[in-house]
Chains A and B, each alone.
Chain A
């Protein structure tokens, strides 16, 4: 009995630590609201500049999410199912854009846009990928496609391979198996991943700093606009926009949880 009482410090420590840490994070999240106050929040939310930036963020994130889903779903399936030599090496290189600092991704994109495919495209067609909204899309695509592949691989890993094997033995072609068996089973996982990928695309800004730069009303998506207005000393704009970003992130994650995702990236 005495031995049992001596072990009681462990749950107390665990719960106490959790409470402390939670308090710090809640304070962190609440600090913007406390700073700004209710009336100022309403004032900044009623400005059109806020909503223009939100719309820019939403549509660029949506476009880049669509692009990355087109590549991410098949690539995730390939990484999940096929066994080939050095697959950890390949998977690591595909994962690199989300593992290294996003500033590095921005610097490297800045480097490759003067090189082969990009200079050729801008020379022969009237498309310039750089300091405009295409640059924003490229940065978001580069980061989200790696993230998307990672999540899709995890979603497909959750499905037992037995169902595919049964479908194949019953005579269905591999493509038919993929569309009729694997995709319907992975549907919830794909939707949950899609929401997270969208939120991640809307949160990407560090690459823009080096690669795209800011043009008011053209490339200043919301997280980047926070940095710009902070440099300009406009704390009201900064805090109100960070509240909007927080709401976006929290609502995306809540939607994902309602669908039933478990949300452990890595």
Chain B
């Protein structure tokens, strides 16, 4: 009897050790850089390599205290506004589309499934290049010339489009899985009792799918926050552009001369403001951590099998 308990204990210890290693690695990766955020002004000034501009100009702008900088708040504002709008559009368009893919007979359904699923293993740079090639050449380019404004390298259509591509696909796959898991029989019963298709959806399937829809919304929002390559390729950086480049509307919303948050991390580290980049990165980690924790609590399950 005691041998069995010992065997069980060894078994548990074996599996716990792998999970523990993974947890420690992840925690170390994300927490060990926390000291970078609290670098003081004096430490930055005494650092040896500060920049290599013409006639000794210091390129390194950061001098401690990222929260005092307007660029930080504008970037955060820009990212939050765009991701919320993206999630809104994805939800409004994605829930009916997922419902159609789950319930109605559409020709070539397996091909559609492969297309949307392959987006989750598609390199971001490919999506960025596809967007650039799609909008900057051919008929869509002519259309933009006719309309008089460009989609690429702009905040309002541009960033929205770039963040929408993946966030929509991820959200839709979650919503489709939710609708797949709900028995269509309930709806059929509702229809025999006299409700029409819309009422059957509204009163039967929608309340049952509520948790799944919320999960999909969180997933789409998280994915939009994590978007990097598509925004980098399609929009680039805005932080260095002159103020005249931005419309009054974006100035009113305090979104001008700011970067998409994850692009800003990259840009700041590349420009040599490593501490600033890490401070921005911790904001993303904080937001991502909270949303993934909520997703786990709700009980979202990801599966490929």
- On A, residues with C-beta under 8 Å from B are 3-11, 13-15, 17-18, 21-22, 25-29, 31-32, 34-35, 71, 74-75, 77-79, 81-82, 88-97, 99-112, 115, 142, 145-146, 149-151, 154-155, 157-158, 173-175, 178, 186, 188-189, 192-193, 196, 199-200, 202-206, 209-210, 222-224, 226-227, 230, 238-239, 242, 245-246, 249-250, 252-254, 256-257, 260-266
Interchain CB contact under 8 A, B26 and A146: yes
Number of A-B contacts (CB under 8 A): 342
Task: Kindly identify, within residues 1 to 43 of chain B, every residue whose CB is under 8 Å from any CB belonging to chain A.
Answer: 4, 7-8, 10-12, 14-19, 21-23, 25-30, 32-33, 36
In contact, B304 and A193 (Cβ under 8 angstroms) = yes
Does A266 lie within 8 Å of B219, measured CB to CB?
Answer: yes
CB proximity of A153 to chain B, nearest CB, Å = 8
Binds A, one of B61-69, B150-158, B291-299: B291-299
Cβ of B123 within 8 Å of any chain A Cβ, yes or no, is: yes
CB-based contact A249/B118 at 8 Å: yes
**In the complex, residue of chain B having the shortest beta-carbon distance to the beta carbon of A145:** B22
Which residues in A have their C-beta under 8 angstroms from that of B222? 99
State whether A203 touches B303 (Cβ < 8 A): no
CB neighbours of A266 from chain B (8 A): 170, 173-174, 215, 219, 295, 300-302
| A92:B28 contact, CB within 8 angstroms | no
Query: 7 pairs across A/B with beta carbons < 8 Å?
Result: A28-B127, A82-B15, A100-B284, A142-B25, A157-B301, A223-B123, A230-B129
Which chain A positions have C-beta within 8 A of B118?
246, 249-250, 252-253
Q: Establish whether residues A264 and B303, one from each chain, have CB atoms under 8 Å apart when the complex forms.
A: yes
Question: Contact at A7–B138, with CB atoms within 8 Å?
Answer: no
**A149 to B15 alpha-carbon distance, docked (Å):** 12
Q: Count of chain B residues with Cβ under 8 Å from any Cβ of A? A: 108
Contact A7 to B199, CB < 8 A, known contacts A26-B115, A78-B19, A253-B121: yes
A34 to B227, CA, bound (A): 26
- Return B216 CB to nearest CB of chain A, in Å: 9
B266 within 8 Å of A by Cβ? yes
Task: Please measure, in the bound complex, the distance between the C-alpha atom of A7 and the C-alpha atom of B122, giving whole angstroms.
Answer: 38
Q: How far apart sit A151 and B174, CA to CA, in the bound complex (Å)?
A: 15
Decide if B138 touches A35 in the complex (CB within 8 Å): yes
- B235 interfacial by beta-carbon distance below 8 Å: no
- Residue-wise interface mask of B (188-220) relative to A, using a CB-CB cutoff of 8 A (1 in contact, 0 not): 000000111111110000000000000100010
- Also in contact, A155 and B305, with CB within 8 A (given A27-B134, A107-B269, A230-B129): yes
Across the interface, which residues of A come within 8 angstroms of B170, CB to CB? Answer: 265-266
Q: Is B104 an interface residue (CB 8 A)?
A: yes
A17 adjacent to B177 (CB under 8 Å): no
Cβ–Cβ contact B233 & A230, under 8 A: yes
User: B147 on the interface (CB 8 Å rule)?
Assistant: no
Whether A154 pairs with B302 at a CB distance below 8 angstroms is yes
Residues of B within 8 A of A175 (CB): 7, 10-11, 14
Seed contacts A8-B196, A101-B261, A189-B304; 4 additional CB < 8 Å A-B pairs: A7-B199, A250-B118, A264-B174, A266-B170
Given contacts A79-B19, A203-B121, A265-B120, contact A96 B196 (CB under 8 A): no
Segment of B46-54, B94-102, B239-247 in the binding face: B94-102
A66 to chain B, nearest CB (A): 15
- Give A185 Cβ to nearest chain B Cβ, in Å: 11
Given known contacts A154-B303, A154-B304, A226-B125, A101 and B227 CB-to-CB distance under 8 angstroms: yes
Q: Are A10 and B303 in contact (CB under 8 A)?
A: no
Measured in the bound complex, the distance between the Cα atoms of B129 and A227 in whole Å is 9
Whether A158 and B126, one on each chain, are in contact in the complex, defined by CB atoms closer than 8 angstroms, is no
CB-based contact A101/B262 at 8 Å: yes
Bound CA–CA A103/B19 (angstroms): 24
User: What is the minimal beta-carbon distance from B200 to any residue of chain A, in angstroms?
Assistant: 8
How far is it, in angstroms, between the C-alpha of A104 and the C-alpha of B30 when the chains are bound?
9
- B126 and A103 contacting across the interface, CB-CB below 8 Å: no
Contact for A22 among B17, B112, B129, B165, CB less than 8 A: B112
Known: A82-B16, A154-B303. A99 touches B121 (CB 8 A): no
| B183 in contact (CB, < 8 A) | no
Return chain B residues, CB-CB under 8 Å to A103: 228, 262-263, 265-266, 281
Which B residue's beta carbon lies closest to that of A226? Answer: B125
A263 partner residues in chain B, CB cutoff 8 A: 113, 117, 120, 173, 304
